[in-house]
Amino acid sequence: MKFLTWPVVAGAALGIVAPLLTYNGNPGNMGFCAACFLRDTAGSLGLHHAAPLQYLRPELIGLVLGALISAFLSKEFKPRGGSAPLARISLGFFAMLGALIFLGCPWRAYLRLGGGDLTAIAGIVGLFAGVLGGGCPGKQLVNIGEGNNDSALFVLGMLLGAAAAHNFGFAAAPTGVPTFTPYVLLAGFVVCLYIAFTNKSEA
């Protein structure tokens, strides 16, 4: 059956693994979130000092290694990159700020929606504005495993974004969004639009 394609199998696997991770200790409203895991990893590297969020996530290591092994087995591993490094880092930086304001990456948003959290709809709508960076944090991690250096720069930007979000108090909290966070988010939109209009591919 055409329905049983690899993307469908991978999506189903993620939907099964996320509750299992929650059952084994991950926060109940997280499950599997590439952005949150990168935030925790940034803390483990000493980039921010939010005490509960300092943990080198083994899920990220497994994701990149799995992509690497898969790429080698399918002969799709191909080192590449080198385009607009500052733009890639900037996009990753503001992507992480957005994720920490709206509480998660695309995977987590859909997992929350699947769990009945209708507030995830707002985050999913916002994802349509996030295609500029070439995909969600999870996809960037997979791309690293396939040899994409541009994705490595994007993830570097996300680590720096996580550091800024927690060191300067921009990340959202259960009590709400900090006062200056909307202005930072607006600045991010401006930067993304600038990059979009100044880095257009030539036909």
Interval 58-84: pLDDT, tens: 888 998 999 999 899 988 898 888 778
- Dist. CA 16–CA 104, nearest whole Å: 18
What does the pLDDT read at residue 89? 92
Nearest to 152 by CA among 46, 80, 94: 80
Question: What dihedral do alpha carbons 61, 27, 23, 6 form, nearest 10°?
Answer: -50
Question: Does the global pTM surpass 0.85?
Answer: no
Neighbours of 193 (CB within 10 A): 12
Name all contacts of 44-48 with Cβ < 8 Å and 24+ positions apart.
Answer: 45/159, 47/159, 47/160, 47/162, 47/163, 47/167, 48/162, 48/163, 48/165, 48/166, 48/167
121-134 exposure pattern, b = at least 16 Cβ within 10 A, e = fewer: eebeeeeeebeebe
Find the range with the poorest average confidence among 79-93, 123-137, 150-164, 178-192.
123-137
Residue 48 has what pLDDT? 93
Question: What tokens does 176 get?
Answer: 């709400």
